[in-house]
Structure 1
Amino acid sequence: MIKNKRQIQAIHPALRQAKMLLLVMTAILIVANFYLLSSARQLAQSYSDQNNQATWFLFQLNKEFSELVSMSRFSDQGENYRQETILHYELTWSRFDLLLHNREADNFMRTPGAEPFFSTLFDRFQQLEYALLQKQTPKNSAELHRSLKEIYQAMVTYVNTNFRVQSPLYKIQMTQAQQLAYAQYVLMLLLFVCAGLVSYIMHKEACFNKQLAMTDTLTGIPNRLAMMRCIKEKIDYMHPFTICLLDLNGFKQINDRHGHHAGDRVLHIIAQRVKRRFSVYRIGGDEFCIVIDTCDDANINMAFEELMGCFSDTIHLGSGINVSLSTSVGFARYPEDSLDYNALIRHADKNMYQMKFTRKAKAST
């Protein structure tokens, strides 16, 4: 019991602190991604000179294409990522179209071999549209990412080989753009890692809270709520079973004579004894419930004998104090006695008190 309490006190704060830390990191990464996007846009806007318009188109194509390649890796992670990938595809498509058909890029495209190369590259790019619009699976997403990356690498290699711009400013800005793209890619990966860890911790925390809600903190066994879920689940699946309600005889006298601490120890010891043989639940005070997966008379009688054996030994409270307990038992069978949860509980409760009163009557005579 003490160990369970310490685990509850230790695990829950650790989960909460880890979750808060990851949420803060996720927020920071989101802000950093927005900052990089803003920086990339500001860098793109710096190309205002009319004579460098074609170079600006090429830079925009490189920027949008690099973001598309990064995003395509996660297109199978959900509809939001898929729509984001489609958006980047459309943006890259428009950059290709501007580079090939805008009059301000005519001088740039008159360079020998430029127009055939970019036209062929654009055709390869458009052929991937059908694959992008299909339902994404991990395999399809990986294939799409590989194909886009090949086209992108071909474009970068061609530009680096054939269009060496001598402007120092252009070289600096191009380097900055690549660094921003790489940094954004890394930050995006970190963002997804943090989001995954947050989801995992929240799942574990939900499982922990669910287990906590279903457990009696005093005895460490399942509580009334867990019993209700167990019985209703068996009823839903129409599995025959027997419930056995227990009420401890003599527990109040132990509480009054030796104190509540002794009473708590008695409840814990009894719960552990019964737990070794049955699926037992504490439903309140000194009342317990056992669920047995059978309605057979022979098995029920055998279970009753085993249950009585849990009360045959005395309980040691320390300081030379030993106490004994007995129990009153009430059975109810599904579906013989009732098909309803509440009716089964009432039936078992009635039988339990009938046994208790019968014992009292025999004791008085």
Structure 2
Amino acid sequence: MGNCRSRKIASLLTYITPLLIISILIAVAALKRNSDTITNSQNEAAWYVLQLNKEYAEFHHQLHRYATGNSDHNDMMLQYEILWSRFTTILTNTHISHLYHFDGAYHQISKQFAYIQSIELQLIDLEPGDPEQALITQVKEHYENLVVFLSHKFRLSSGDLLKRVEATQTMKLLIYFLLCAIVLLGGILCWALWRESTSMRKLAMRDTLTGIHSRLWLNNHLNELVDAQQPFRFYLIDLDGFKQINDTQGHHMGDQLLKVVAKRLTALSGEHYHVARMGGDEFAVIEPLAVQHGINISQKLLNSFQQPVVLDGKTFSISASIGSSEFPLNASSVTEVLQQADFVMYEVKQRGKNGVQHYEIGHSPLEKKRVKEPDFR
């Protein structure tokens, strides 16, 4: 149940985490846009706007001088052309595209440019010394309106920039929150994966049919004992007649028999020895020899097979052929321990089964034909 829950949590977080990462990327992009708008509004855009104001003021000045007879028509029209080009630059230059971020700025500048274009014919026909007061007044009003509007828009305290500043702060908080969420969910994901891995490892260390230690656990434990140079005796147990019961009564009955045997061996298990299933009808017992416990495990193992087994109302007599080897007395490695135990177990079967034999110096697996070797890979 816990493993299933951990797996669901890990699966859910696997989908949520990428979404949070995408959200952070989007928030960072939005934060950059807002920051660029605030920065650029105080740089390129502000510079172009100031230049526009300057050229507009100069044009109004030249127009006034020409209308009063103090300037040449060409000078006035030259300034008009400069102002005209300044408007064009602002409205078409891609470097100040962020001008669109300021509500009404582009529209206001376009409106002013349209007005400047509309008075071109009047300027061409304007005679020197002709005080077109209405035209001069109109140009001055448009100029002043534009100056007031742009000065307000490009101040840091303007509503547009304040919104950007507030949005930037909000984005920063959002990014911090998302980062914290990712760290938290990453921790939960690691915990869920660790728990699932631990659970899977525990399952791998248990035999799925009988519930006792598996062959993987047996291999690991034997290697640990050998690496630590801890003396132990290894018992290899092979059920007698299991194949006949399994073939004649069915695999279901064979599985029940294996469960009964595992249960009996487990009942004998304690702090002094450990039981594992090697596979098929073979079991193993490890008896540590570091502590003298005075228990005759060999006899206990034989006794556990003396009582008949009742399976689905049918009674079956069972027995086992058991071979043992001792480390480091007779063997110097796990492989030798297994080979020696298997060899003497085979000898028990050759003598009529149902017995225990310990490997002694002088017995050599290479001197006699082997029927099988246990596969511990």
Shorter-chain-normalised TM-score: which range? 0.5 to 0.7
Q: 1:49 matched to which residue of 2?
A: 41
Deviation, 1:50, is: 3.4
Q: CA 1:266–1:167 in structure 2 vs 1: closer, same or farther (change >3 Å)? A: same
Q: Measure, in 1, the Cα distance between the counterparts of 2:174 and 2:209.
A: 53
List aligned pairs for 1:184-199, cutoff 5 A.
184-199=175-190
Give the residue type in structure 2 aligned to 1:323.
Answer: F
Q: Structure 1, residues 62-99: CA drift from partner, whole Å, max 9, x if none?
A: xxxxxxxxxxxxxxxxxxxxxxxxxxxxxxxxxxxxxx
Deviation, 1:224, is: 1.7
Q: 1:29 matched to which residue of 2?
A: 20
Deviation, 1:205, is: 2.0
Which entry has the higher C-alpha Rg, 1 or 2? 2
Quick check: 1:19 aligned with 2:19? no
Q: Measure, in 1, the Cα distance between the counterparts of 2:353 and 2:341.
A: 19
List aligned pairs for 1:102-113, cutoff 5 A.
none
Deviation, 1:256, is: 3.0
2:338 pairs, out of 337, 345, 350, with 345
Asked if structure 2 preserves the Cα contact closer than 8 Å seen for 1:295 and 1:334, the reply is no
2:219 pairs, out of 220, 228, 232, with 228
Moved more, 253-262 or 31-40: 253-262
Q: Measure, in 1, the Cα distance between the counterparts of 2:237 and 2:243.
A: 15
Asked if structure 2 preserves the Cα contact closer than 8 Å seen for 1:242 and 1:295, the reply is no
Asked if structure 1 preserves the Cα contact closer than 8 Å seen for 2:3 and 2:196, the reply is no
Q: Measure, in 2, the Cα distance between the counterparts of 1:203 and 1:296.
A: 35
Structure 2 unaligned residues grouped into runs of 5+: 47-154, 356-377
Give the residue type in structure 2 aligned to 1:49.
Answer: S
Deviation, 1:297, is: 8.9
RMSD, matched Cα:
2.7
Q: Structure 1, residues 95-146: CA drift from partner, whole Å, max 9, x if none?
A: xxxxxxxxxxxxxxxxxxxxxxxxxxxxxxxxxxxxxxxxxxxxxxxxxxxx
Q: Measure, in 1, the Cα distance between the counterparts of 2:337 and 2:181.
A: 54
Give the residue type in structure 2 aligned to 1:256.
Answer: D
Q: CA 1:167–1:52 in structure 2 vs 1: closer, same or farther (change >3 Å)? A: farther
Quick check: 1:308 aligned with 2:302? yes
Q: Measure, in 1, the Cα distance between the counterparts of 2:299 and 2:229.
A: 27
Q: 1:175 matched to which residue of 2?
A: 166
Q: Measure, in 2, the Cα distance between the counterparts of 1:356 and 1:228.
A: 25
Q: 2:351 matched to which residue of 1?
A: 358
Q: Measure, in 2, the Cα distance between the counterparts of 1:206 and 1:287.
A: 28
What secondary structure, in the 3-state scheme, does the structure 1 residue paired with 2:286 have? Answer: strand
Q: Measure, in 1, the Cα distance between the counterparts of 2:216 and 2:42.
A: 73
Structure 1 unaligned residues grouped into runs of 5+: 1-6, 55-163
Give the residue type in structure 1 aligned to 2:288.
Answer: D
Q: Measure, in 2, the Cα distance between the counterparts of 1:276 and 1:303.
A: 13
Q: Measure, in 2, the Cα distance between the counterparts of 1:165 and 1:360.
A: 98
TM-score under structure 1 length normalisation: 0.61
1:203 pairs, out of 191, 194, 198, with 194
- What is the aligned-residue identity percentage? 29
What secondary structure, in the 3-state scheme, does the structure 2 residue paired with 1:330 have? Answer: strand
1:323 pairs, out of 308, 316, 321, with 316
Q: Measure, in 2, the Cα distance between the counterparts of 1:298 and 1:215.
A: 27
Deviation, 1:171, is: 2.0
1:291 pairs, out of 264, 273, 286, with 286
Asked if structure 1 preserves the Cα contact closer than 8 Å seen for 2:265 and 2:301, the reply is yes
What secondary structure, in the 3-state scheme, does the structure 2 residue paired with 1:359 have? Answer: coil
What secondary structure, in the 3-state scheme, does the structure 2 residue paired with 1:246 have? Answer: strand
Q: Once superposed, which parts of structure 1, at least 4 consecutive aligned residues long, lie more than 3 Å away?
A: 14-17, 50-54, 295-299
Deviation, 1:215, is: 2.5
